[in-house]
Structure 1
């Protein structure tokens, strides 16, 4: 696969991707979509345990996470791996890994070792619980962290059990925070000329994603409880049943509340003493929801969407995934990007979320076959064809 030189905002950078599963690849995807030369280092087929994949190689998850990357194979445990890895690391701007901390040290991929090889390199380490502390050696897993950061205790209905979210928000959040850290380090390097170690843990990310719920506890001592679809401090913000489904309403704030009442044809409801202010509506949410439920059941979701849009009240339907990609705004925004897979033909992937007007991101290739760029990349590093053949015969690559 040809490098994406000149095709994006980050084309001058080389990223070595040593990561697995979801958080690390999500981080690296931010670089790959904007044209960085991303080299994914994978274990050869001769390594028994191999890499921790997310589904089949040609499957949706792997294709979405690993587009726009070149692939080489390398047995990091082999003594001869250094013959490939060290020249590669000398050319790297960023190295991304999400091994457990002790694995990184054993493989000689710790920051002290890497910086001795390349003082300008930025090492990004994503871990479950951090590089230090009593939990440093524990494996990190999205759902486990959802429980430990408070997210599951605040998700679900009041009478129901703690509930995970419907997507891997901790892993994805960690990848995005790590990418932000790496890009900040690259920006700082323009002044200092030096690399540094960027660290990100799933636990810290999870607490960070709790945002106002975490702040409510730290500042006010309020412990978040499960509220179903309702907002803990601003009402009416919830999902309400309509004549043919459900509708989400975000009418927090007194002005929006008054607009909602006018859309109902009952402006006087805004002056009810129980509903005058947000704290009043939160305190009297049971009576409020009873009244709103009667109103919303009187018409379909589409009818309410039209009325509330005219009244400038935030609202929206509750979609299944097929309905998401059928929505005219989603289609207009080209959120599903087409790309050609060598075996599956044209498939669609979730396009890069961040839009740049002058140097936009592009999805130009699917996940390459394992080791598809071995000869190309190793040749760039100065290894002869004879040496490459020798490494292959010894199952180093």
Structure 2
């Protein structure tokens, strides 16, 4: 898929985004829009910028790898949004934008200054994406929240971990990233609607709401039974066997999604009697007798290595895999074949590897275009284009006329 600028895989070329957000949810959403071709201007405070620049170690150059993971493809400018001059400059940016993303705390001065409804009244074609911790209504609306707070408050931690162990957060920042992904969907659908109506709108989501949406079968099971789900470790609430199992030298995953696969698994394990056992004949039976079945399987599987069982079961069409660590994942020929890891040159950090956008367009994956920006790197480029003189840029941004701090 080519766009008007001639670059493949850039469906959002020509869309301008002003990013007033920080930390992860908003920046990940805007980075994804940049991956898709949008021109994203990241507005940061002159003193330190996005707090994640210092969320380390590890660091590459002056910035943390956390910041570098969620801000590629953007242009950075510095403004004090609490000052009248900073607010006036921000409005000049917004006047030329298609999308604004903000995650100011409800009730804060900055939220009121850049209130979504006020912005869309002033700029009728503007789409404002607002991401909050708990949503803009309800008793928790004014509560601050990071990803782990959302995971705890919205139930994810109650579902994660071993049955007899403590609650555990997900390894990924599922609160932040879930909100980012739903925010992206909101922006893209609002752009489509604007093409039809000519008007923008406010799009809101939250870390809390995104977690509820991702409960899926856990929620519907609770609605149907009224029973609070329990932690199952790597197990599945509705399928057995469908989890990690111990081998002689480590763990691997077996995923049996139907009774035909179950019969085949029993044959490959040499445990034909399990297939005929009335406790395990159907998936429903196996879910009811989960603990007894897992005890039988573990007794057999501990007698072979991970490689042995994965080779044996894969030969019979059973979905199975070792549990790979990140060094193994990124050394995998399959990862390499996908071309999802891309390299971009960073002026301070040198060659910087990035995990690219996970969608292809007619076989073309969007390329990582530019490295995550240095703080205020594009002050002169952007503000001179808005009519500011070198002296005004220096006073406005706290940098010299060329954009350096």
Shorter chain as normaliser: what TM range? over 0.9
Distance 1:10 1:394, change over 3 A: closer
Higher mean C-alpha displacement, 109-118 vs 242-251: 109-118
SS at match of 1:101: coil
The equivalent residue for 2:52 is 53
Q: Is the 8 A contact 1:77 1:107 kept in 2?
A: no
Confirm whether residue 16 of structure 1 aligns to residue 18 of structure 2.
yes
The equivalent residue for 2:95 is 90
The equivalent residue for 1:30 is 32
2:114 to 105, 109, 117: 109
Instruction: Write the distance in 2 (CA, Å) between the matches of 1:6 and 1:180.
Output: 25
Q: Under a length normalisation based on structure 1, what TM-score does the superposition of the two structures give?
A: 0.92
SS at match of 2:393: helix
Q: Is the 8 A contact 1:236 1:249 kept in 2?
A: yes
Q: Gaps spanning 5+ residues in structure 1: where?
A: none
SS at match of 2:353: strand
Distance 1:106 1:152, change over 3 A: closer
SS at match of 1:213: helix
Report 1:216-365 matches (<5 A): 216-357=221-362, 360-365=365-370
Report 1:73-88 matches (<5 A): 73-88=78-93
Confirm whether residue 171 of structure 1 aligns to residue 176 of structure 2.
yes
Count of residues paired in the alignment: 391
Q: Is the 8 A contact 1:5 1:35 kept in 2?
A: no
Distance 1:68 1:394, change over 3 A: closer
Q: CA deviation at 1:388?
A: 2.6
Q: CA deviation at 1:393?
A: 6.5
Instruction: Write the distance in 2 (CA, Å) between the matches of 1:285 and 1:389.
Output: 67
Q: Is the 8 A contact 2:5 2:13 kept in 1?
A: yes
The equivalent residue for 1:391 is 396
Distance 1:104 1:330, change over 3 A: farther
Q: CA deviation at 1:105?
A: 5.7
Higher mean C-alpha displacement, 103-112 vs 255-264: 103-112
Instruction: Write the distance in 2 (CA, Å) between the matches of 1:144 and 1:391.
Output: 36
Higher mean C-alpha displacement, 160-169 vs 381-390: 381-390
Instruction: Write the distance in 2 (CA, Å) between the matches of 1:242 and 1:82.
Output: 60
Distance 1:260 1:74, change over 3 A: same
Q: Under a length normalisation based on structure 2, what TM-score does the superposition of the two structures give?
A: 0.91
Instruction: Write the distance in 2 (CA, Å) between the matches of 1:250 and 1:394.
Output: 56
The equivalent residue for 1:143 is 148
C-alpha distance after superposition, 1:71-117 (max 9, x if no partner)? 11111011112331122111111100111122266552112321233
Q: Is the 8 A contact 1:149 1:207 kept in 2?
A: yes
The equivalent residue for 2:381 is 376
The equivalent residue for 1:41 is 43
Q: Is the 8 A contact 1:40 1:69 kept in 2?
A: yes
Say what the alpha-carbon RMSD is for the aligned residues.
2.2
Q: CA deviation at 1:120?
A: 0.5
Q: Gaps spanning 5+ residues in structure 2: where?
A: 57-61
Q: CA deviation at 1:187?
A: 0.7
Instruction: Write the distance in 1 (CA, Å) between the matches of 2:109 and 2:360.
Output: 34
